[in-house]
Amino acid sequence: MKGLFITATDTGVGKTIIGAALASIIRRSGVDVGVMKPFASADKVFSRKHKSEDVALLAKAAQVTDPDEQINPFFYQVPTAPFVASKLNFKNKVNISYALKIYHTLCAKHDFMIVEGIGGVMVPLTKKKYIANFAKSLGLSTIIVSSSKLGTINHTLLTIKVCKCFGLNPIGIIINGIEEKNDSLVKDKVIEAIEELSDVKILGVIPFLKTLNLSKMRLTIERNLDINEILLM
């Protein structure tokens, strides 16, 4: 299956908005793109249609009508890792084979898949499996969204090392949320250092957007990333 698995150096780094913008661009180019957020957790249910806010945005961007139970088979109304949620008496315990079965159902309906992970690569799903194990089973191309905050070299290199341990070979990194006012020389050198030390390509750098919505992120990505290059990888 052609598609992307979107992970990040942490939660709140930009997986959903970037994944949604990529889905929107790909859909607008005429490709039938499906989306999935197999495991989600939040302190509240977002809407009647979609329990997870991430799922609502991804589904809107990809213009899909797949049922919420397929886009997001596992939702926990507590913002924590699925493994932790499973200790809290949630009925819908993580079942990795079931999540994979649903993924294949979506693959049969679409020509390209964008799957958002949960948090970073070492988020535990069960005692034995991490989201990185699940990602490996999907067979998609992995993209890492990295923050632009101090500490990102460490977090990005850790993420890449772990990806490799799990047999995931990230095709590239998107650095998100760069403040334009930052010292651009340092910023450029940090970006250069990440690429040099990791041997993983920086696909693009996304600025911090004061007012953010899907179409704004779509335009920003179109301006800052070579989408065709990503699709051919």
Ligand X SMILES: Nc1ncnc2c1ncn2[C@@H]1O[C@H](COP(=O)(O)OP(=O)(O)O)[C@@H](O)[C@H]1O
Q: How far is the CB of 154 from Mg ion (least distance, A)?
A: 22
Dig out the tokens for 165 from the structure: 């341990």
Told to check if 15 binds Mg ion by CB under 5 A, we report: yes
Nearest to 203, CA basis, from 185, 222, 219: 222
Minimal CB distance residue for Mg ion = 16
Q: Among Mg ion, ligand X, none, what binds residue 206 when CB lies within 5 to 8 Å by partner kind?
A: ligand X
Told to check if 16 binds Mg ion by CB under 5 A, we report: yes
The edge-to-edge listing of strands for the beta sheet with 112-120 is 33-36, 112-120, 3-8, 141-147, 172-178, 202-207
- Which residues does 117 contact at the CB level (< 8 Å), separation at least 6? 5, 6, 7, 8, 15, 123, 131, 135
Q: Among ligand X, Mg ion, none, what binds residue 11 when CB lies within 5 to 8 Å by partner kind?
A: ligand X
Out of 37, 128, 129, 201, which one is annotated catalytic?
A: 37
How far apart, in whole angstroms, are the C-alpha atoms of residue 81 and residue 86? 9
Q: Which residues bind ligand X (CB under 6 A)?
A: 8, 11-17, 54, 176-177, 206, 208-209, 212
Dig out the tokens for 199 from the structure: 């041997």
Q: Among ligand X, Mg ion, none, what binds residue 152 when CB lies within 5 to 8 Å by partner kind?
A: none
Dig out the tokens for 16 from the structure: 């959903």
Task: Using the minimum distance from each CB to ligand X, give the nearer residue, 67 or 79.
Answer: 79
Tell me whether residue 37 is one of the annotated catalytic residues.
yes
Residues near Mg ion (CB under 5 A) are: 15-16, 54
Instruction: Kindly list the catalytic residues.
Output: 37
